[in-house]
Amino acid sequence: MDESEILKKKRVHYGDIHECPHASLLIAARMLDKTRRVVQREYLMQVLNDFGDIPDVVSRIGDIDAVKEDTVADLKNYIKLYEEGK
């Protein structure tokens, strides 16, 4: 599913985010959360790269792909929504 389809599905499911009070603030907060997830995933990838040979490290990190979700696609969509609101 491409990014525009994801955005359309979210609009149908959640409604028009621009109708929310303080929509720009809400969108910016969601962008920040998605960016935090990308940073977290990259950090965990580096930890695995450096210490992945230690079994306890691997078990404590768990499934890195669980952090991924559609994070980058979501971030791109929130950027589009932010630009639409300006």
Tens digits of per-residue pLDDT, 60-73?
Answer: 888 887 666 678 88
Domain range spanning residue 84?
1-6+39-86
* 49 domain-assigned: yes
Number of domains in the chain: 1
Q: Please give the Cα distance from 58 to 48 (Å, whole number).
A: 7
* 21 domain-assigned: no
Q: Does pLDDT of 21 surpass 60?
A: yes
Question: 14 CB contacts (<8 Å, ≥6 apart)?
Answer: none
In whole numbers, what is the pLDDT of the chain averaged over residues?
Answer: 83
Joined together, the tokens standing for residue 19 give 């109708």
The average pLDDT across 13-22 equals 71
Burial state string for 42-71 with b = 16 or more CB within 10 A and e = fewer than 16: eebeebeeeeeeeeeeeeebeeeeebeeeb
pLDDT in tens, 27-66: 899 899 999 999 998 999 999 999 989 989 988 888 887 6
Q: What is the pLDDT of residue 50?
A: 95
* 29 domain-assigned: no
* 24 domain-assigned: no
* 20 domain-assigned: no
* 80 domain-assigned: yes
